[in-house]
Structure 1
Amino acid sequence: MEITGVRQHEAWRNKVMPPVERVAEGMWSVPVVFPGNPMRYTLAYIVMEDNDCLVVDPGFDSPQGRIDLLAGLQVAGVTANDVTGILATHFHTDHLGMARWLRRWSGAWIALGRAEKRYISAFNDAREEISADRSRMQTWGVPEDRVNEAALDLDGLKHLKQLADADLRVSDGEPIPISGGTLVVVETPGHTPGHICLRDESRKVFLSGDHVLPRITPNVSLEMRGDPDPLRSCLESLDRIQEDEDIEVLPAHEYRFRGLTARARELKSLALARSDEVLALIQGQQYPTVWSIASHLHWSRGFQSLGGLQLRLALSETAAHLQYLRTSGLEHDVEGLSERCVIGAPL
């Protein structure tokens, strides 16, 4: 892999915000702070085409995030009022979060992938949702004194409900409706059910969202009402990426690089190795649960250090591997792990 975002890489290593950068003709990367998260920032992208101004993944909505995005627009020679389109590669708060605020300024349309689901916020009664999620955590074997920490909370659910809805839905192979039509949708489900990437052949860039990142393995979680087999979807999406190695990858986190196909293959290999690790733990435990397996897996920060959202993501990712093993015809090997244990409490 060739690191092309040298200043971004240096900033990542030094744990500081990278600069706004012009990454191609009419295209800028803008770091937008992601408060209280180890990822630290989201890389939003501004795309200028004639009279159109598109913002891709505007970032998490916070006072500093708004300042960051406005500063990036200023470098590109425009203001929030000039934005004509907003696209999020997926519905997570660090991507779609600022879309509602930006639309109020500009009246711009908001687009998501055709298959994207806001499954985490697809509820009517927040308290019932919390109760169902707590039951799932208990089914997963989470100790009683950690259930509240791992389960969804009321404030978080209310925040998700406030995310903007899409005005447009875009599909695989379809150009984004801005002047020139050079940005084309690539559907890459896995990280979320309707995650999309964008290919721009004229600029030789590939906006990868969270599907392919240069250093970390993006989280793939099994969630209520989400993709019933998200890891399988992710692996299939990685198989679909066969790009010219000269194309530059513009991810939503970390830094720019070249070597997309090789990195996609590496991510698939790492995921399959993780599933092998999970399978070995199942076979070695008399009464395996999501918790008992997750707590024995290798985590970069160590399982004991995980808390809050990071703990939840670790458990949901482990559950995704368990579901993948179940749907891979390994019934005998996972017979000690019931379907209820993997999926959790029914809704």
Structure 2
Amino acid sequence: MSGIHPASNQEFSAHTAGKLPAPEEVADGVWTLPQPNKPGHMPFTLSYLIQDSAGDIHVLDPGWDLPPNTGILAAALDRIRPGLRAPASAILTHLHPDHTGLAGSLREQHGTRTVMHRREQEAQQDYARWTADDSRIRADLDAWAVPHGRYTEVLGYAKGSPRVVVPADRLVADGDLLPVPGRRLRVLHSPGHTPGHMCLVEEDQRLLFSGDHLLPRVTPGIGASGGFPENPLELYLQSLHRLRAYDDCQNLPGHEYRYRGIADRAHAIATRHLTRTAEVEQVLAADPDATVWQTAERLSWGRGWDALTRHYLVSALRQTAMHMDLVASGGHKKAFGSWQPLAARTRTA
């Protein structure tokens, strides 16, 4: 049977209705913890609570630092282990505030240890330098050939905003087992959404915690946080390809709802990206000297090119630059080849 299939009817129904799902026990000692987000973002984050063999609780992606979420987490901990005031550790798939917000206050108030990928810590420092340096941002805009009349608009939204700095108590790398007693939680470095994004595999219960890497409906943004010396799109496609090996796992993403069908979902997202790469390749074949702006305005956008403004325009330009770089480096040939028979369908579309 192909396609993706919700692993929880109530979670899927709540997502469809735009409501906050109820917490659920996913597997022995693993619970969902849905938490609301700020308006204008994904409606909620799916945090997860994982109990170790000593009875302590570890929270994966503790959610935005909002007053309701503090109470939601406290109530969940007390239900699992009455009297427990805080998790032993906060494990962070990546450093976006809807995933990490509560980690800082948990660390300050209760000594909760934070765990993240080493590359994400480095990217956090690089992002702070990038947002503080107009010259680096202007260099991007100049490389994109943003027209004079739109320059100020694009510059304002390209700057981004300062991120909450979350100190790490433990840095991990690809292949590491997390320090969670009685659990085999394996780190899978999955760059693309951010440089140090990581997924986790619970090897005994076959659960994949995928953060923002592999959502059931939404295609995650790629490379928006900066900090990539490499092409984020190429890294993301490689990461997607790797996760096909975990198709037997239930996917526990950071938003929307849990599901099965990891390989099919990875294939669908890769199709979307490689279709765009093929479109960029066609534009450049007709006009090899086209700038990023000139290429972007010739592509098919769901909103239509003329309707793209603010951060949507910045995202479109960044995406176009990534696809152009992939074509220029020849990386698109490797990417197409790794997703056969997808390649033949996409390149003739």
Coarse TM-score class (shorter-chain normalised): 0.7 to 0.9
Deviation by residue 1:12-55 (Cα, 9 ceiling, x = unmatched): 22222222222111111112222133422211111111332111
Shift of 1:83: 0.8
Separation (CA, whole Å) in 2 of partners of 1:97 and 1:80: 20
2:69 equivalent to 1:65? yes
2:140 equivalent to 1:136? yes
User: Is the contact made by 2:127 and 2:225 (CA closer than 8 Å) also made in structure 1?
Assistant: no
Shift of 1:287: 5.7
SS in 2 for 1:98: helix
User: Is the contact made by 1:222 and 1:230 (CA closer than 8 Å) also made in structure 2?
Assistant: no
SS in 2 for 1:116: helix
SS in 2 for 1:278: helix
SS in 1 for 2:267: helix
2:157 equivalent to 1:150? yes
Shift of 1:128: 4.7
SS in 2 for 1:61: coil
User: Is the contact made by 1:222 and 1:319 (CA closer than 8 Å) also made in structure 2?
Assistant: no
- Of residues 27, 48, 51 in structure 2, which corresponds to 1:24? 27
- Of residues 294, 318, 321 in structure 2, which corresponds to 1:319? 321
Deviation by residue 1:107-127 (Cα, 9 ceiling, x = unmatched): 111111132245365367788
Separation (CA, whole Å) in 1 of partners of 2:16 and 2:102: 26
Shift of 1:98: 2.0
Partner of residue 87, structure 1 = 91
CA pair 47-151 structure 1, distance change in 2 beyond 3 A: same
SS in 1 for 2:119: coil
| Higher relative helix content | 2
CA pair 129-243 structure 1, distance change in 2 beyond 3 A: same
Shift of 1:176: 1.1
* Structure 1: gaps spanning 5 or more residues: 331-347
Separation (CA, whole Å) in 2 of partners of 1:310 and 1:71: 38
User: Is the contact made by 2:47 and 2:62 (CA closer than 8 Å) also made in structure 1?
Assistant: yes
TM-score norm. by structure 2 comes to 0.82
2:5 equivalent to 1:2? yes
Separation (CA, whole Å) in 2 of partners of 1:44 and 1:72: 11
SS in 1 for 2:245: coil
Partner of residue 12, structure 1 = 15
- Of residues 97, 103, 122 in structure 2, which corresponds to 1:99? 103
CA pair 200-310 structure 1, distance change in 2 beyond 3 A: same
Matches within 5 A, 1:291-310: 291-310=293-312
Shift of 1:93: 2.0
SS in 2 for 1:32: strand
Shift of 1:87: 0.7
SS in 2 for 1:97: helix
Shift of 1:131: 4.5
Deviation by residue 1:230-259 (Cα, 9 ceiling, x = unmatched): 111111112212435442100011111111
CA pair 218-127 structure 1, distance change in 2 beyond 3 A: closer
Separation (CA, whole Å) in 1 of partners of 2:131 and 2:212: 30
Partner of residue 182, structure 2 = 180
2:213 equivalent to 1:204? no
Partner of residue 46, structure 1 = 49
User: Is the contact made by 2:62 and 2:100 (CA closer than 8 Å) also made in structure 1?
Assistant: yes
TM-score norm. by structure 1 comes to 0.83
Partner of residue 337, structure 1 = none
Partner of residue 336, structure 1 = none
Shift of 1:164: 0.8
Shift of 1:185: 1.2
Separation (CA, whole Å) in 2 of partners of 1:201 and 1:51: 19
CA pair 31-79 structure 1, distance change in 2 beyond 3 A: farther
Shift of 1:61: 2.0
Shift of 1:213: 1.2
Q: Percent identity of the aligned residues?
A: 32
CA pair 294-57 structure 1, distance change in 2 beyond 3 A: farther
Shift of 1:141: 3.3
SS in 2 for 1:122: helix
